[in-house]
Amino acid sequence: MSSTNIKKAANVLVSATFYMSKRNFGTVGISSFVENLTGLGLAPVILVSLLLTSTAAASERYQSLESIAQVVRETVSAMPVVTSLKNPSIEVLRLSNRLRVVECPEPLSAVEPATGLRGGRISIRVSCKGPRPWSVYVMASLKSEVQVVITTRAMTRGEVLAREDISEKTVLRAPAIQPLLRQSEEALGNALKRSIGEGVELSAAMLKKPTIIRSGEHTLIMAEAGGLQVRVTGKALQHGVVGEIIRVLNLSSKKTVRGKVEADGTITVSRW
């Protein structure tokens, strides 16, 4: 055999071997290679080499997708933020059947990202630290039972929430980025920042302290001096919510003072 034919045969063998290692190449495919090599006089040698390569590729063991998913579920369920949830449900997003990594001879390891949960989703890195190491990132979603406070009727902006306007309900949902209210007491007495419909889950961002007194309204100014309590009529010079310090006009002295708004609408001042 000439050196030229030997080089051609070697090139074909390398290409075929690489191709065969990547695909399940049957006997029909092998025959087409053999026909092209017959003229080189190396068909039997190439055929044996290809069959050996095909057998080795077919015998390669790959890591099962379920074993990868199980490691992800175990890792997520052990996270402190998850163990504090009520009846958490973890779902590993479907892994592609095209994912093929060699079977790991030792237990898989998994690492959660520093960012933690984001809107109920998390990416876990699963790795094999064996002789042929590999790593893949797997997405998982999380839901749990949470108690929320919902409106029982449609309400308009500025309305103050009363007991009959809200109720508590247990739902299955992903952890909220914006905290939701869990108890009715958190909502009672607060006013809505915007109009909402019936059955809306309430969050702290939707509520504000109600305006107890409005600018121009008459109110009672109270002050203590020398163990005596003094009460005079005043006029609010600005809107005020409970606990807020506002300016108020003493209608008797015509002096403007600053005082704290109480729940009943009165204004308490520390000094005249």
Least reliable range by pLDDT among 50-54, 143-147, 212-216: 50-54
Q: What pLDDT is attached to residue 4?
A: 57
What is the C-alpha separation between 9 and 16, in angstroms, rounded? Answer: 10
Mean pLDDT of the chain: 81
Q: CB neighbours of 33 closer than 8 A, spacing ≥ 6? A: 12, 16, 46, 47, 50
Q: Are strands 166-173 and 267-269 parallel, antiparallel or unpaired?
A: unpaired
pLDDT at 179: 72
pTM for the model: 0.54
Q: Quick one: which of 100, 81, 98 has its CA closest to 90?
A: 81
Closest CA to 175 of 71, 75, 76, 68: 76
Give yes or no for residue 97 having a pLDDT over 70.
yes
Where is average pLDDT lowest: 48-57, 62-71, 135-144, 244-253? Answer: 48-57
Comparison of pLDDT for 150 and 2, the residue scoring more: 150
pLDDT at 41: 52
Q: Which residue has the tokens 């050996």?
A: 52
